[in-house]
Amino acid sequence: RAAAAAGKGGAASEESGFELPEAPSVEALERFLAEAASAASASAATAAAIYVSACASGLGPVPLHATRAVPRLMNAAHESAEDRSAPHAREAAVLCLNGMSERLGFAFEPLALPQLPQIVALVGDRDRKVGEAAVRTLETVVSRLDPLAVPAAMPALYHGMRTVSWHVKEVCLRTVGRLAARAPGPLGACMPECVPAVIECLNDS
């Protein structure tokens, strides 16, 4: 479908080089979300994420909130992770979040913040591509946070630093370091909780 879309003359996707097969609408978004949920290959996951993020960019955050598109994506990813099924659908879900965060920036923050615990959990996914996509998405989301929203992101990172996975611990520690460099003032207010969590994580590692 990604190859066919280029000849249909739909709305352009600036970053991907593809074109949407139709103008952004809630109906189109629902169809693209269904494609993400049923992705059966890496290329299908990538194409679905391109369509979802381009459509979401055209619609804006209000319809995304109304349709609960973001929590639906992540809940489906969490469920498939638990039963070890549909790794490409999980990859698609995480890539969708990454694309929406890249395109919508600060406007996506209220939708992305509640999903940080699930993004962190998917960093440790058994499927390597899912984990890599989750790392990229975590980096994208936190890089677009308003500095005043940084404290709201910290509990998910604390939880990640307390998991048994050394890889998740490392990613969360690295993310805390980036936030400290980017928003030292807001993060400074979190020091009473942050310092013990970091020390515990380093000792466990």
* Token pair of 120 as six digits: 């962190």
Residues paired with 12 in a beta bridge: 19
pTM over 0.85, yes/no: no
Distance CA 28, CA 64 (A): 12
- What are the two backbone dihedrals, phi and then psi, of residue 11, each rounded to the nearest 5 degrees? -70, 135
101-122 b/e with 16+ CB inside 10 Å = b? bbbbeebbbebbbebbbbbbbb
Distance CA 166, CA 120 (A): 13
Query: Per residue of the chain (205 residues), what is the pLDDT tens digit?
Result: 433 343 343 444 444 445 566 678 999 999 999 999 989 999 999 999 999 999 999 999 999 999 999 999 998 888 887 767 789 999 999 999 999 999 999 999 999 999 999 999 999 999 999 999 999 999 999 999 999 999 999 999 999 999 888 999 999 999 999 998 888 888 888 888 888 888 888 887 6
Mark residue 17 as left, alpha or beta (left: phi above 0; alpha: psi -120 to 50; beta: remaining): left
Residues paired with 19 in a beta bridge: 12
Task: Identify residue 98 by its one-letter amino acid code.
Answer: N
